[in-house]
Chains A and B, each alone.
Chain A
């Protein structure tokens, strides 16, 4: 068989496989949309559940999820970014850094339910926050930290050393070089990484299960010490442990649709922001 033909066959296979992936993605989206779109209404989005959660809307869960996204971002971003800056710009490549990196990767591999248990034991009980937005945000924040660190590190590593050298050669200090050259240049990629990582945690159920999520709580949170409902947990509840599963099935799909929509909006805005930012100088 000649080279050309073999190459064509290989490419065709690759193309079919990637189409299959896209196909599955659209299938899931289409399925959830088809099943869930019927219950989506202004009222569904803006009111609390009623009648033992067989009717009404999911507003408290939407608010809760948004609170958790913001809260975990507030925890994970500063810590994750600073530690990435430290390991990639300051710490060199010694034993300590390699150890930190390995541990970060291991952290990323820990199942989220374990984070949930840890968060319950540390934040809810030991630190006495109780089931609360702050306990949930800290837990989710820890969970995303490895991802934030990794993507930030990669964004920093992608900045060519020639920029740094140019800056040093002009008499800039390390701090100036990092803050005025490296970070701004890495910013679009850092932001993208950050947004994608919050997108990913917004669907996590296990870490919020024992730290913040309320089964049914129609009123909105009034402080970071309040408990909240959250979309993933609400979805779980009405899908498997509600009072009338058959009746709430469409609501479960509607909830899933809203959750997916939030994640999609987050991801799309990430790529828009990134495009905007990198256009500025490219």
Chain B
């Protein structure tokens, strides 16, 4: 379970996240929507501490995973990231073979058992619905895949180290409709085993795939509710305006 308590976040002097508290249940899909620049990605990156990589930032409040504050001094960040996988907006496979891409997380974790790695690679590619398309060219460069395949490879890569949470930042925004629907189907099946948090600009997508939806605006969490409720009968007027396309 993910939980944030009064999270505030600054880029330098810019107050990017304002007092955000939310709870995300296990094995659910949560969508974050909101206008560009409202802080969705920033908030998402809190959960695997990718914001740590950006210099001159500052955080207050608590961010808990299964009750543990992931920002406490004793937390091992690399261990955290093995538990919280991430898929980026643009597919970013490594300049390596398909096989090595998926095996990467295991290898940096010190796994050297070849048989085990091979099994995990196959399982992960199957989970990411990519196995049939690549099983004959595992030793080929990942760059030979199409954009949609590359994104599923990135999902497989994240699955290979058995995380419990997967963060996705607009994972289908660079893809064609067919690839997009493949990713959406995938998210649907992955929900059984993973907690998924996804940022999207596509309202229909949020409505189709998520159980809960959070609407962000100007660094604030305006509304966080069951997806049905957010789209059919939101509590807040700003939400209503946003999802019906009327801004401001």
If the complex has contacts A180-B104, A184-B95, are A170 and B143 also in contact, measured as CB distance less than 8 A? no
Q: In chain B, residues 77-127, which have Cβ atoms closer than 8 Å to a Cβ of chain A?
A: 78-82, 85-86, 88, 90, 92-96, 104-105, 107-109
Cβ contact within 8 Å between B82 and A170:
yes
Which chain A residues lie closer than 8 Å to B104 at the CB level?
Answer: 167, 170, 172, 180
The answer to whether A172 and B108 touch across the interface, beta carbons within 8 angstroms, is yes
For residue B158, CB closer than 8 A to chain A, the reply is yes
Chain B residues with CB under 8 Å of A181's CB are 94
CB atoms of A170 and B161 under 8 A apart: yes
Find chain B residues with CB under 8 A from A168 CB. Answer: 50, 53, 81
Known contacts A170-B104, A170-B105, A281-B95; decide if A162 and B88 are in contact (CB<8 Å).
yes
CB–CB A170/B81 < 8 A: yes
Instruction: Give the residues in chain A near B50, CB-CB below 8 Å.
Output: 165, 168-169
Which residues from 138 to 178 on chain B have a C-beta closer than 8 Å to any C-beta of chain A? 141, 143, 154, 157-158, 161
CB neighbours of B105 from chain A (8 A): 170-172
Chain B contact-residue range equals 20 to 34
Indicate if the CB atoms of A163 and B78 lie closer than 8 Å: no
Query: Which residues of chain A have C-beta atoms less than 8 A from B82's C-beta?
Result: 170-171
Most B CB within 10 A of own CB, among A165, A169, A173, A181: A169
Kindly state whether residue B67 has any CB partner on chain A within 8 Å. Answer: no
- Taking CB as reference atom, which chain B residue is nearest A164? B53
Question: In the complex, how many residue pairs between chain A and chain B have their CB atoms under 8 Å apart?
Answer: 72
Residues of A within 8 A of B88 (CB): 162, 165-166, 169
A170 to B93, CA, bound (A): 12
* A263 located at the interface, meaning its Cβ lies under 8 Å from any Cβ of chain B in the complex: no
Contact with B along A157-187 (1 / 0, CB 8 A): 0001011011111111100100011001100
A171 touches B79 (CB 8 A): yes
Partner of A180, one of B78, B108, B143: B108
Given A166-B94, A167-B94, A170-B157: A280 and B85 interface contact (C-beta under 8 Å): no
What are 19 residue pairs bridging A and B, where the CB atoms are less than 8 Å apart in the complex? A92-B55, A162-B90, A163-B92, A165-B88, A166-B88, A168-B50, A169-B85, A169-B88, A170-B81, A171-B108, A172-B105, A172-B108, A173-B78, A173-B108, A180-B108, A181-B94, A185-B94, A280-B141, A281-B141
In the A-B complex, the 7 residue pairs with the smallest Cβ-Cβ separation, listed nearest first, are: A171-B82, A170-B105, A162-B92, A169-B86, A171-B81, A172-B108, A281-B95
Knowing that A170-B108, A171-B161, A180-B104 touch, tell me 11 more A-B residue pairs with CB under 8 angstroms: A162-B92, A166-B93, A170-B82, A171-B79, A171-B80, A171-B81, A171-B109, A172-B104, A176-B108, A184-B95, A280-B141
**Which residues of A are at the interface with B, using a C-beta cutoff of 8 A?**
92, 160, 162-163, 165-173, 176, 180-181, 184-185, 280-282
